[in-house]
């Protein structure tokens, strides 16, 4: 649905702790819709508030000192009732590390992550909860990093 698989390849790689160089990752990355970005325009931790992007997508930011931020927005069509699509918005941040084979492991700060689930036909209001998921993936190819000044994550 989202072009998540276009930019990332899931892999169950084993991670090794070692000195890390993240220079090839640092910056903000987004999926092809170029609409979902990290930063407080997506999730504002101060007011604890999500802003729904125009289009679905996924975005990651990585810093040189090993922190990541992730924004994810997915809509799920409902074939039996097209008027009732569901939507999921997720945000998390935390530390990341890189394995020898180039795969990444993201370890979120569990209490900070948030999820908003909307199913307008089932619930009048969105369901807002905490969210955390450790992720492992390989970076295959990613589109241009977005200039930090325009859509920066928390720690740029
Ligand atoms: C994606 O969006 C950013 C921020 O709005 C913009 O600076 C950039 O040029 C866009 N990239 C593409 C490929 O459309
Ligand atoms: C992290 O996610 C797991 C699985 O959904 C959940 O059981 C756990 O309570 C979460 N931790 C926090 C601190 O929210």
C-alpha dihedral sign at 33, 5, 96, 27: negative
Is residue 148 assigned to a domain? no
Whether residue 17 is contained in a domain is answered as no
Q: Is residue 51 part of a domain?
A: yes
Cα of 99 vs centre of ligand 2, distance in Å, is 25
**How many CA atoms lie less than 13 Å away from 5 in the CB half-sphere?**
1
Look at residue 124 and tell me if it is in a domain.
yes
Average pLDDT over residues 99-120: 92
Higher pLDDT, 110 or 24: 110
pLDDT tens-digit map of 72-100 = 999 998 888 889 999 999 999 999 998 88
- From the CA of 149, the nearest ligand is 1
pLDDT of residue 153: 35
Instruction: Determine, yes or no, domain membership for 153.
Output: no
Cβ of residue 107 lying under 6 Å from some atom of ligand 2: no
pTM, 2 dp: 0.77
Per-residue tokens: 15: 């991670």
Q: Which two tokens stand for residue 30?
A: 């987004």
19 domain-assigned: no
Percentage of the residues of the chain whose pLDDT score is greater than 90: 49
Note down the domain range covering 38: 27-137
Does a structural domain hold residue 13? no
In a domain, 147, yes or no: no
Please tell me the total count of domains within the chain: 1
């Amino acid at each position: 649905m989202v072009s998540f698989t276009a930019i990332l390849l899931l892999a169950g790689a084993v991670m090794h702790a070692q000195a890390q160089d993240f220079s090839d990752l640092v910056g903000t990355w987004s999926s092809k819709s170029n609409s979902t970005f990290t930063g407080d325009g997506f999730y504002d931790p101060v007011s604890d508030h999500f802003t729904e992007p125009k289009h679905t997508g996924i975005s990651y930011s990585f810093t040189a000192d090993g922190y990541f931020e992730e924004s994810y927005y997915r809509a799920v069509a409902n074939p039996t009732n097209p008027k009732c699509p569901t939507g999921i918005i997720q945000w998390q941040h935390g530390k990341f590390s890189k394995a020898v084979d180039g795969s990444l492991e993201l370890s979120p700060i569990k209490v900070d992550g948030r999820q908003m689930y909307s199913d307008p036909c089932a619930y009048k209001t969105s369901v807002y909860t905490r969210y955390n998921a450790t992720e492992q993936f390989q970076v295959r190819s990613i589109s241009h990093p977005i200039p930090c000044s325009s859509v920066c994550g928390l720690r740029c």
